[in-house]
Amino acid sequence: MSGALNAADLDDTLRADLRRLIVSLADTKRILGIRYSDWLLGAPSIETGIAASGMTQDEWGHARLLYALLKDFDEDPGPVEHDRDPSAYACCDALDAPADDWADVVAFMAVVDNALTIVLEGLAEGTYEPASGRASKMIAEEGFHGEMAAAWVRRLAAGSVEARQRVAAACAGVLPRTLAWMAPDDEPARRLAEAGILPAAETMLARFTERHGALLAGAGVDMPEPDRSDWDGARGRGPGHPGLEAVERARGDRNRELFVE
Amino acid sequence: MKESVYDVFARKERGDPLHHIGYIDAPDSELARVYAWRAYDEQNWFEMCIVPREAIIAVNRDDGPFARSRETAS
């Protein structure tokens, strides 16, 4: 790739901008893995649970790869992975609360997981070489996540009145904040776009709509404007944070003494 | 949720014969593809495909695993 960048090529400001993005992507994948894992045995069928299990493992594997990118900044990823308070977690806002039912899980797949893929695709085509290589591998593994999401949205939308209402409400509920997280419209995001590391916010929003707008419209969900109210620029997301129980699992608190690195 | 049986076939390498490696239950072929890929991911398959069991026509015996689809079809 022409104009390929490494950490040594970036000034301190751009390094901080990129670090915010990497931590937010990694946190989102780790918490998304936890939200999927809650449903391995509560999914509508054994096969669905097995598929969710594979997706869980993908997300945690990708989170590990993304945290490891911090080494490129001469930063030990260990404390970021295992020592932060919930208030420091930068995952997509939509994942702060666990899924109440399978429709919520489908919304996480169709909205949050697909939004993650849009950002990864942006990184893969961008100039920051350490991330672009890893992102390509992740995107290849994510292919079946998108297919699972689309199949389940269509299935629930074509089901009972209640199923259609639940999946529509679940997707509509997470879309505004997820779009804001996926496509931040602040100075750090604009600097990343200028450096060619990530596409501009409007480009990523247009890609999401182009790729998933019809699927969601078929379920009765209109594409909303991103909800950027109370934006937390330090973390690159809205206010709030995931609960302590999820963060304890993400950090591996109970098995800290048993870690094998 | 009404589900159908899909048989899963795969080959490890280009040119290998296609083997029957198992089956899955799924409500439609779209989900059957995802479930098959996830349920039988112990190998790095070169190619995997699925067939709705009801599309398989038994040829030489009436007591094999695929015989019932013939009874259903006739």
Residues from B contacting A (CB-CB < 8 Å) are: 1, 3, 24-28, 30-31, 33-35, 37-39, 41
Q: Are B9 and B58 in contact (CB under 8 A)?
A: no
Alpha helices in B2-73 (DSSP H): 29-39, 67-73
Q: CA–CA distance from A224 to each of A58, A113, A172, A180, A228 (Å)?
A: 29, 18, 8, 11, 12
- Residues in A touching B38 (Cβ below 8 Å): 47, 50-51, 53-54, 144
Report the gap between the CA of B37 and the closest CA in chain A (Å).
Answer: 8
Q: CA–CA distance from A76 to each of A68, A91, A162, A259, B61 (Å)?
A: 8, 20, 48, 16, 64
Instruction: Dig out the tokens for A149 from the structure.
Output: 């999401």
Comparing CB atoms, the residue among B3, B27, B35 nearest residue A51 is B35
What are the pLDDT digits (tens) for A203-252? Answer: 999 999 999 999 999 999 999 999 999 999 999 999 999 999 999 999 99
Comparing CB atoms, the residue among B1, B3, B38 nearest residue A50 is B38
Alpha-carbon gap, residue A174 to A159, rounded angstroms: 21
| Interface contacts A/B by beta carbons within 8 Å | 43
Where residue B72 falls among pLDDT bands split at 50, 70, 90? low
Where residue A258 falls among pLDDT bands split at 50, 70, 90? confident
Comparing CB atoms, the residue among A45, A144, A154 nearest residue B37 is A144
Where residue A261 falls among pLDDT bands split at 50, 70, 90? low
Share of chain A above pLDDT 90, in %: 89
Phi first, then psi: what are they for A99, rounded to 5°?
Answer: -75, 130
What are the pLDDT digits (tens) for A185-202? Answer: 999 999 999 999 999 999
Instruction: Dig out the tokens for A256 from the structure.
Output: 């800290």
Task: Give the mean model confidence (pLDDT) for residues A6-29.
Answer: 94
Report the gap between the CA of A152 and the closest CA in chain B (Å).
Answer: 8
DSSP assignment of A108-122: IIIIIIHHHHHHHHH
Q: Which residues are bridge partners to B24 per DSSP?
A: B6
Supply the pLDDT for residue A235.
Answer: 98
pLDDT of A133 > 90? The answer is: no
pLDDT of A1 > 50? The answer is: no
What are the pLDDT digits (tens) for A31-88? Answer: 999 999 999 998 999 999 999 999 999 999 999 999 999 999 899 999 999 999 999 9
- Residues in B touching A36 (Cβ below 8 Å): none
**Closest alpha carbon to A204 in A85, A119, A124, A141:** A119
pLDDT of B69 > 70? The answer is: no
Supply the pLDDT for residue A211.
Answer: 97
Task: Give the mean model confidence (pLDDT) for residues A90-113.
Answer: 98
pLDDT of B25 > 80? The answer is: yes
Alpha-carbon gap, residue A223 to A191, rounded angstroms: 27
Q: Are A43 and A49 in contact (CB under 8 A)?
A: yes
Task: Give the mean model confidence (pLDDT) for residues B19-29.
Answer: 95
pLDDT of A2 > 80? The answer is: no
Alpha-carbon gap, residue B61 to A115, rounded angstroms: 51
